[in-house]
């Protein structure tokens, strides 16, 4: 097989164990939507989506119609697929053709879905959609009624106009109401309480409009792992006659959000998760340089002693962030060795002076396994594990192991 030696190993059994753990943690009264957007957080949609849906996941969440089409053709089990970031012009027909369920909040989403449904000759209430309520993230969704203190019940004209679209002759059916929390990892936050209050106020409008819907969904990994807010959410769903659904992403891949304050039961729950991904490469060349020589572009690493270097087949074009130059250490023969000098586009160098056994062809773990995990990478570059995982580039092949 002709492959450049840099690849990502995905542990099938760890992914499934995480899914089962989260499923059990959600309890019987809540459903789960497994978020596999952004190529399953860099883990490979075509591998992860069929495994998770094969394990019984009823819902998958992806970003766009394009991703949804890939997920649809990868999954034999015919899961429901939610298009989390809504629709853009011209995408409605594709969403219907592939049985994707869009999140909606703009009038044009509904216009284009209605038109596409007409074109396909679909009858009333045949196209399920989920309406997003903006309760404080201010990213997407129709504004909830403002309900700080006495403002509760304030008019929400945009919401009312959207709800009026779900009349009995419409091809559209309101199947879900959703929102997204902006600070779920800070436990018992005032933001969470304010967002829940606004969601409750929005639901009052839905109930007043006599619209029934099947799912109320909110809460990502942090809400599910934290757990303390689930009773309030279940109560709200029950009041609206709907089932609660949670949308974990990161936790499926074995990383728990970091909670603040730390040391809570949520951190204990995190010990049940197993990191799914290991990113690896090989030593493709070794050589030694005398003390005083510089390494890689601009000699940002200056050898203070005679130094043995190992060249590895990974660079920033593969998603190894250049800010990790001279900061991160990778793992070879079970030991950590530092990156020496600037990470190049396709390659970088390790200082292996202290591990003399290193030789051509040795496996090097970049992330996961014995190496730094996505949190450690993230901390070094002022980022978050979500970004570190998604950054692993498309030219790095993903392969299922175990
Ligand atoms: C990405 C996303 C999630 C999953 O978030 P995690 O923190 O990775 O669990 C859930 N809901 C929405 C709307 C998202 O965009």
Mean pLDDT value across residues 326-347? 98
What's the pLDDT at 262?
Answer: 72
**Ligand 1 atom nearest to 250, measured from its CA:** 8
Q: Find the 277 Cα to ligand 1 centroid distance in Å.
A: 19
Q: How far is CA 197 from CA 186, 291, 325, in A?
A: 17, 64, 46
Structure-token pair, residue 143: 């504004």
**Ligand 1 atom nearest to 178, measured from its CA:** 13
The larger pLDDT score, comparing residue 280 to residue 262, is at 280
For the Cβ of 130 lying below 6 angstroms from any atom of ligand 1, the answer is: no
Q: What is the pLDDT of residues 85-102, one digit of tens each?
A: 999 999 999 999 999 999
Residues 6+ apart with CB under 8 A from 376: 328
Q: Find the 42 Cα to ligand 1 centroid distance in Å.
A: 14
Query: Which H, E and C letters describe 236-260, residue by residue?
Result: HHHHCCCEEEECCCHHHHCCCCCCE
Give the residue whose CA is nearest to atom 6 of ligand 1. Answer: 249
The larger pLDDT score, comparing residue 264 to residue 338, is at 338
Res. 368 pLDDT band, cuts 50 70 90: very high
DSSP state of 361: T
For the Cβ of 72 lying below 6 angstroms from any atom of ligand 1, the answer is: no
What mean pLDDT, rounded, does the chain reach? 95
Give the residue whose CA is nearest to atom 15 of ligand 1. Answer: 84
Res. 150 pLDDT band, cuts 50 70 90: very low
Q: Find the 8 Cα to ligand 1 centroid distance in Å.
A: 23
222-226, 281-285, 314-318, 319-323, range with the lowest pLDDT: 222-226
The larger pLDDT score, comparing residue 14 to residue 192, is at 14
For the Cβ of 35 lying below 6 angstroms from any atom of ligand 1, the answer is: yes
The answer, yes or no, to whether residue 375 has pLDDT greater than 60, is: yes
Count of CB atoms within 10 A of residue 97's CB? 13
Rounded distance between C-alpha atoms, residue 212 and residue 131, angstroms:
12
For the Cβ of 220 lying below 6 angstroms from any atom of ligand 1, the answer is: yes
In CATH terms, the fold of domain 12-260 is: TIM Barrel (3.20.20)
Q: Find the 307 Cα to ligand 1 centroid distance in Å.
A: 45
Residues 6+ apart with CB under 8 A from 299: 341
The answer, yes or no, to whether residue 359 has pLDDT greater than 60, is: yes
Termini Cα distance of the chain: 20
Q: How far is CA 289 from CA 45, 292, 311, in A?
A: 43, 9, 13
Res. 8 pLDDT band, cuts 50 70 90: very high
What's the pLDDT at 84?
Answer: 98
Helices 65-74 and 45-54 pack at an angle, to 10 degrees, of 60
**Ligand 1 atom nearest to 33, measured from its CA:** 10
DSSP state of 186: B
Catalytic (active-site) positions: 37, 297
Rounded distance between C-alpha atoms, residue 134 and residue 144, angstroms:
6
The answer, yes or no, to whether residue 120 has pLDDT greater than 60, is: yes
- Residue 330's beta-bridge partner residues? 337
Is 277-401 CATH 3.30.70.920? no
Every domain range in the chain assigned CATH 3.20.20.10: 12-260
What's the pLDDT at 153?
Answer: 53
Mutation to probe ligand 1, out of 84, 182, 244, 252 (largest number of atoms < 8 A from CB): 84
Q: For the chain, give the percent of residues with pLDDT over 70.
A: 96
What's the pLDDT at 98?
Answer: 98
What's the pLDDT at 267?
Answer: 78
Structure-token pair, residue 146: 């403002």
Every domain range in the chain assigned CATH 2.40.37.10: 277-401
Rounded distance between C-alpha atoms, residue 162 and residue 113, angstroms:
13
């Amino acid at each position: 097989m002709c492959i450049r030696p840099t690849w990502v190993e995905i542990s099938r059994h760890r992914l499934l164990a995480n899914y089962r753990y989260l499923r059990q943690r959600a309890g019987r009264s809540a459903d789960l939507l497994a978020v596999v957007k952004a190529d399953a957080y860099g883990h490979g949609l075509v591998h992860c989506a069929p495994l998770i849906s094969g394990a019984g996941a009823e819902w998958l969440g992806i970003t766009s119609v394009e991703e949804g089409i890939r997920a649809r053709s990868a999954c034999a089990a015919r899961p429901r697929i939610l298009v989390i970031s809504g629709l853009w012009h011209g995408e409605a027909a594709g969403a219907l053709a592939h049985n994707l369920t869009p999140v909606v909040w703009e009038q044009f989403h509904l216009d284009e879905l209605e038109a596409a449904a007409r074109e396909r000759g679909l009858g009333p209430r045949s196209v399920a959609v989920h309406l997003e309520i903006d309760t404080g993230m201010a990213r997407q969704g129709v504004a909830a009624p403002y309900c700080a203190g006495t403002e509760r019940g304030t008019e929400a004209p945009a919401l009312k106009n959207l709800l009026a679209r779900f009349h009995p002759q419409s091809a559209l059916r309101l199947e879900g109401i959703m929102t997204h929390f902006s600070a779920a990892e800070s436990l018992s936050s005032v933001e969470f309480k304010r967002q829940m209050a606004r969601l409750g106020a929005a639901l009052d409008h839905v109930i007043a409009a006599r619209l029934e819907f099947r799912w109320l969904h909110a809460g990502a990994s942090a809400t599910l792992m934290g757990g303390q807010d689930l009773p309030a959410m279940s109560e709200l769903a029950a009041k609206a006659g709907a089932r609660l659904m949670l949308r974990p992403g990161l936790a499926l891949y074995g990383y728990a959000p970091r909670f603040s304050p730390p040391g809570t039961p949520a951190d204990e729950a995190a010990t049940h998760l197993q990191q799914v991904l290991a990113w690896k490469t090989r030593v493709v060349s070794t050589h030694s340089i005398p003390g005083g020589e510089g390494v890689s572009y601009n000699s940002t690493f200056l050898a203070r002693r005679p130094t043995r270097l190992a060249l590895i087949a990974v660079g920033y074009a593969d998603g190894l962030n250049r800010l990790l130059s001279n900061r991160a250490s990778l793992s070879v023969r079970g030991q950590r060795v530092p990156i020496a000098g600037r990470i190049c586009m396709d390659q970088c160098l390790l200082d292996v002076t202290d591990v003399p056994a290193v030789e051509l062809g040795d496996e090097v773990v970049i992330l996961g396994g014995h190496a730094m995990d996505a949190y450690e990478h993230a901390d070094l570059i002022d980022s978050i594990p979500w970004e570190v995982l998604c950054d692993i580039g498309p030219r790095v092949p993903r392969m299922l192991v175990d």
